[in-house]
Structure 1
Amino acid sequence: MNGLQHSAWRYVAEVLPPDELPMLAAHALVDGFDSPALRELAGLPRRSDETEIRGLYVQALHELGIPLPDEEKAGRCLLVSLAFGLTKGELSPADVADRLSMTVTARTREETRFLSVAADYSEWISPDELPGWENDLKTAAHSLTASTALGPGIDVPGLRCD
């Protein structure tokens, strides 16, 4: 999966800040992708107008034939990505809870369990309850990652995130 395809679900899930899009476009050009909007986006400073950045990004994806996923698909991709980040030690349980949007929906039993446990976190969780919650979240993450088809490439059975 190339960086632009991977970025599409991250963009829709709102976990890809607009100021990162010009550099993403520059990397895509280096990787051999090319379109007028992609070149223009790559030339913008990071602090450019967010509306302009977003518009050029969406236009570049369109010109390159890369579709934007719907919000449900992007949210499910986010769930899987967070689960892999946790199981690989790249994210802490608190990081997962902080990065999770409450607008995410789940379809599978594993997605639902992971989302449910992650949503139980709050800054007021007692120190005595924290280790149990972290363990439950790690268990749910392992279950979710085990249910994916192709591993950390963010592919879930019946759901391609590229």
Structure 2
Amino acid sequence: MDRLQHSAWQYVAETLPPEELPMLAAHALADGRDSPALRKLAGLPRRSDPVEVRELYVLALRELGIPLPDEETAGRCLLVSLAFGLAKGELSPKNVADRLSMTVAARTREETRFLSAAADYSEWIPPDELLGWENDLITAAHALAAATDLGPDVGEPGARPA
């Protein structure tokens, strides 16, 4: 999956800040993608008007024939991405809980179990219960990573596409 296709779900899931979009566009140009809006977006400074940046990003995707997923699909990609990140040891259980700020709908039993375990986090969990919560979340992450139909190439949220 190329970086622009990968970024589409991150954009809808609101895990891709607008200030990263000009550099993403520049990398896409270097990868051989090209469109008028992509060139314009790549030329913008990092601190450009977020509304203009978002409009150019969406236009560039449209010009390149890359569809934006619906919110449910983007949310599922976020869940899977977090599960893979936790299963690989690249994210901590607390990182996962902190990154689930958007409303996410689970479609499968494994997604529901992972989302439910993540939602059980509270900063007031007593220390003697914290390890149990972490183990439950890690177990749910491994189950989701093994069972998902979305695959491991959804990437890690917050990670810059290679």
2 CA distance for matches of 1:34 and 1:76? 29
How far, CA to CA, are the matches of 1:73 and 1:8 in structure 2?
A: 11
Shift in Å at residue 39 of structure 1?
0.3
- 1:134 alignment partner AA: E
Kindly report which structure 2 residues correspond to 1:48-127, keeping only aligned pairs within 5 A, or say none.
48-127=48-127
Cα distance in 2 for residues equivalent to 1:70 and 1:149: 16
Q: Tell me the matched-pair count.
A: 155
Judged with a 3 Å threshold, the aligned counterparts in structure 2 of structure 1 residues 91 and 71 are, in CA distance, closer, same or farther, namely: same
Note the C-alpha offset of 1:150.
Answer: 6.8
Identity in percent: 81
Give per-residue Cα distances to partners, 1:73-125, cap 9 Å, x unaligned: 00000000000000011100000000013410001000000000000101111
State whether residues 13 and 102 of structure 2, in contact with CA within 8 Å, keep that contact through their aligned partners in structure 1: no
RMSD of aligned residue pairs (Cα, Å): 1.2
Q: Is the 8 A contact 2:13 2:71 kept in 1?
A: yes
Q: How does 1:119-158 map to 2 (within 5 A)?
A: 119-149=119-149, 151-154=151-154
Q: Summarize the Cα distance change of 1:150–1:73 in structure 2 as closer, same or farther, 3 Å threshold.
A: closer
Q: What is the SS of the residue equivalent to 1:54?
A: helix
Structure 1's consecutive aligned runs of 4 or more residues displaced over 3 angstroms after TM superposition are none
CA–CA separation in structure 2 for the residues paired with 1:126 and 1:87: 24
* Residue matched to 2:158: none
Segments of 5+ residues of structure 2 without an aligned counterpart are: 156-162
User: What runs of 5+ residues in structure 1 fail to find an aligned partner?
Assistant: 156-162
1:13 shift after superposition: 0.2
Amino acid in the other structure paired with 1:88? K
Scaled by the length of structure 2, the TM-score of the pair is 0.93
Partner of 2:112, secondary structure, is helix
Give the 3 Å change call, closer, same or farther, for CA 150–71 of structure 1 in structure 2: closer
Counterpart residue number, 1:158 = none
Q: Which has the higher contact order (CA 8 A, sep 6+)?
A: 2
Which TM-score applies when normalising by structure 1?
0.93
Instruction: State the match for 1:46 in structure 2.
Output: 46
1:148 CA drift (Å): 2.3
